[in-house]
Amino acid sequence: QVQLVESGGGLVQPGGSLRLACAASGSIFRLSAVSWYRQAPGKQREFVAFITIGGTTNYADSVKGRFTISRDNAKNTVYLQMNSLKPEDTAVYYCNAVGTGFWGHGTQVTVSS
C-alpha cells in the first residue's frame, strides 16, 4: 500500500496562516486527483479542497478565498495554503489520492487565541 504523510499543522492565532503538505511514496499523485478533508471534534468529516491531474481546483464554500490547493508532481507532493484562519477551521486535516483508497493519518490544525 502507498503511504501518504501530512505535515505542517500546528497552533495559530485567528487570522494567521499555515501551509500543509501531503507527501506520497512513489508517483501516484501524477496519476490521481487529490483532495483535502478535515474533521473537527464531534463533527462529520467534510470536504475542503480538490485538485485534478491537470491542475483544476475546487473548494468548499467555507474556505473559498482563504485556502489554496496546489501540487508539485516532481516532488509528489500536494499543498494546502491556509490564510486568514478562523477558530472554526480547527480540525484534523487529511489528504486523499482520489479513487485509490489511499489516505494519510492526518495533521492537527488548531486556531485559537
Q: Does residue 1 carry a pLDDT above 70? A: no
Answer whether 109's CB lies under 8 Å from 47's CB.
Answer: no
Tell me the average pLDDT across 63-76: 94
Q: Does residue 55 carry a pLDDT above 80? A: yes
106's enclosing H/E stretch is none
Tell me the average pLDDT across 97-113: 94
C-alpha span between 57 and 86 (Å, rounded): 22
C-alpha cell, 60: 468548499
Tell me the average pLDDT across 57-64: 98
Tell me the average pLDDT across 39-60: 96
Q: Which has more pLDDT, 42 or 25? A: 42
- In the DSSP assignment, the letter for residue 84 is S
Please spell the DSSP secondary structure of 54-107, one letter per residue: T--EEE-TTTTTTEEEEEEGGGTEEEEEE-S--GGG-EEEEEEETTTTEE---E
Angle (CA) 74-58-109 rounded to 5° is 75
Tell me the average pLDDT across 13-25: 96
